[in-house]
Amino acid sequence: MGNDFQIEKLADEFGQYVLYRKCESCLNERRNTPHLLAKLCGWDAKLTDVVRRLRCSICGQKKCAARAVPMTPPRGYKSH
């Protein structure tokens, strides 16, 4: 499945995506919703900027890499 899903700002795709944040130091991976980050930084914040500020809760390094994955729409969902 494509790499055409690009999140630049947290508000992109109306926040309907899931963030996988992987620490490049200890390889711990966490799953987040953008809502959590938007609470901290606002919906206009750039994803790359937000991720750069995050600290790994395990090893304390700021070496997180994030990828955004589209939320699977519920069965029968139709966009308008």
* DSSP symbol at 8: S
Q: Which of 10, 19, 23, 68 binds Zn ion (CB under 5 A)?
A: 23
CB 44 within 8 A of CB 11: yes
Q: C-beta of 46: minimal distance to Zn ion in Å?
A: 22
Edge-to-edge strand ranges of the sheet holding 64-70: 29-32, 17-23, 64-70
Q: 36 vs 58, which CB is nearer to Zn ion?
A: 58
56 is a contact residue toward Zn ion (CB under 5 A): yes
Q: Does 19 sit near Zn ion (CB under 5 A)?
A: no
Task: Please report whether residue 65 would count as binding Zn ion according to CB under 5 A.
Answer: no
Residue in the block written with tokens 């490049």: 24
